[in-house]
A and B are shown apart, each in its own frame.
Chain A
Amino acid sequence: MRERLRRKIAGSKPILAVAAGIPLTAKAAHDSGADLIITHKEAVFGADGRLPVIARTGYGGNGNDIMMRMAEKFAAAAKGTPVIAGVGPAEPYMNVDRYTDRLLNQGIAGVTNYPTAGGWVGSYGNGIRIAGVGYSLEVEYIKRWSMRGVLTVGYCFTPEQVKQMIEADAAILSLYVPRTEKESHGWDDAPCVESAVETALKLFETAREEDKDRILLFSGATISNITDISYYLKTTKAHGYISDELVECSIIEQGVVNAVSGYRRLKVHV
């Protein structure tokens, strides 16, 4: 898989990883020729009409259980396009490596640390970090599975995390472009576009300094159309883009709205 992605990079085509919350999206990703499909609890929540961030709470079920339950359906719909599942290694009641073995047996091609504690800040984020059940566990997890030759994607939010994930040998790094004021959920500082790009560029610089050949994709960012994606691809010089649940959900919504509003305009026989 790494080889395939490298060939694509050599041909200067962008890599596209699609976050999918329903298998129909995985199918569309496969049909469009996308390179990877990533599924995780946030995407599943988004496609179910819930605020994706609620996935970071314990409500609505254990993210790892949800991945296990959906794995076969996503793998079937993806028809051979690799599906990466978001695993939470802080799971306290089971052996996450044995769990991952089972997940891979269901047709999943790789793993990622999403939802992640990597973006958590403030005293809560610090508490998680000091307790040792946050990002450090995710790095160790990615390291173990990269060593076993499984395709891994590491989500990074700070230059320090970029170093850690490269050290862990994550095959692909997902470098986060902060969401801008247009789309804050009220907890981050909601920067303007320029400072969001600046923050992201630091991640890209760090990654290139550490390993100039690592596959770097950008994720996050406030994106409402293809021009935005093109802009972030150009400014970050990323090898590609991980579309997120916001992209998926707005398209699903448009599809349903178009269909139903079409029916609403029908005329009744008088």
Chain B
Amino acid sequence: MKRFSRNEIVDRLNNRIRKYEPIVVCGAGTGLYARAAEREKVDFLIASAKSDALVNGLGAQEAVLPYHDANHTSGALAKHLLPVLKDTPVVAGIAAYNPYIDIRRVLKQMKQQGFSGITNSPGGSIYEGPRKKVYMAQEAEMILTAKEMDIFTMAFVTSEEEIKAMALADVIVTQCREDIRQAKVIIDYQEYLSEQVFAENKNTILLADVGNLTEAEAVQELMFRTKALGIVSEEAVESLLVHEKLTTAFEEILNL
């Protein structure tokens, strides 16, 4: 149950970069997911309401429905994930746009629980309209506050404004809208975002969000086109694979 400092995580990522190895970041919704991912040498894990939704058989989008407090859900993952990990940092997904949170307190709490960093997931970018700007400002404030507290930060960005607002995060992840399924659109959009990110700071540790891409070739193309140093998969693909493998295995038994 090791805690990692911001520097330790950034050093880890830089080590990968130096060796031209991809940075791999995954979500984990149970200790078993975390264990399996650690065995495959994931660089760090995300504990978020999305990872919880997926192991509950829901879609990642359903993580933001108002049937729970997303921050409570991600916080509750601490006891499931942290004790089974030996040498992998876990980053907590925080919905910074929750109107009832005092971000400094939440960050402190997450750190006390044993998380080694934070990210803006679920993010307010899925919403439209005037609130969107407010949500973005709250997320940017969270990133800055975490930075001040020397907590590792990763920011998902979906627009130029978000890139500017959260440019100070240790890692930036380009992300396409969740409802988009076509590989081409996902890759094109993230390529456009990555250009903006590098225009802001060419030394950014940039990762690309796998999102709904399931084909290995498409993920590889996403990496090349965005010039990303690795990928983030907040579990959609793992859960799809798990679902597929479970279904096939059960069907096989039923056909005996």
23 contacts between A and B (CB under 8 A): A24-B54, A28-B250, A32-B247, A32-B248, A32-B254, A47-B55, A49-B33, A50-B84, A76-B57, A77-B56, A77-B57, A252-B242, A255-B244, A255-B246, A256-B32, A256-B33, A256-B40, A262-B216, A263-B231, A264-B22, A268-B17, A268-B20, A268-B21
A90 within 8 A of B: no
CA distance in complex: A226, B227 (Å): 43
For the complex formed, measure the closest distance between the CB of A99 and the CB atoms of chain B, giving whole angstroms: 23
Given known A23-B56, A25-B246, contact A268–B22 (CB-CB < 8 A): yes
A193 within 8 A of B: no
Q: Which residue of A lies closest to B253 (CB)?
A: A16
CA distance in complex: A48, B34 (Å): 9
A248 within 8 A of B: yes
**Which residues, 217 to 241 on B, are CB-close (under 8 Å) to A?**
219-220, 223-224, 227-231, 233, 237-239, 241
CA distance in complex: A268, B220 (Å): 9
CB pair A27 B254 closer than 8 Å: no
A125 within 8 A of B: no
Interface digits, A14-26 against B, CB 8 Å rule (1 contact, 0 not)?
Answer: 1010100111111
For the complex formed, measure the closest distance between the CB of A117 and the CB atoms of chain B, giving whole angstroms: 26
For the complex formed, measure the closest distance between the CB of A107 and the CB atoms of chain B, giving whole angstroms: 14
| A266 interface neighbour in B31, B37, B231, Cβ under 8 Å | B231
CB pair A257 B39 closer than 8 Å: yes
Given known A34-B254, A48-B31, contact A26–B57 (CB-CB < 8 A): yes
B80 within 8 A of A: yes
B35 within 8 A of A: yes
CB pair B56 A268 closer than 8 Å: no
Q: Which residues of A are at the interface with B, using a C-beta cutoff of 8 A? A: 13-14, 16, 18, 21-29, 31-34, 46-50, 73, 76-77, 226, 229-230, 233, 241, 243, 247-249, 251-270
CB pair A48 B80 closer than 8 Å: yes
CB pair B241 A266 closer than 8 Å: no
B199 neighbours in A (Cβ, 8 Å): none
CB pair B242 A24 closer than 8 Å: yes
CA distance in complex: A48, B24 (Å): 22
CA distance in complex: A252, B227 (Å): 31
CA distance in complex: A269, B34 (Å): 28
CA distance in complex: A47, B84 (Å): 12
B55 neighbours in A (Cβ, 8 Å): 22-24, 47
CB pair A49 B22 closer than 8 Å: no
CB pair A260 B36 closer than 8 Å: yes
CB pair A29 B30 closer than 8 Å: no
CA distance in complex: A47, B242 (Å): 12
For the complex formed, measure the closest distance between the CB of A255 and the CB atoms of chain B, giving whole angstroms: 3
B86 within 8 A of A: no
CB pair A264 B24 closer than 8 Å: yes
B29 neighbours in A (Cβ, 8 Å): 22
Q: Which residue of B lies closest to A249 (CB)?
A: B32
For the complex formed, measure the closest distance between the CB of A146 and the CB atoms of chain B, giving whole angstroms: 26
B251 neighbours in A (Cβ, 8 Å): 32-33
For the complex formed, measure the closest distance between the CB of B40 and the CB atoms of chain A, giving whole angstroms: 4
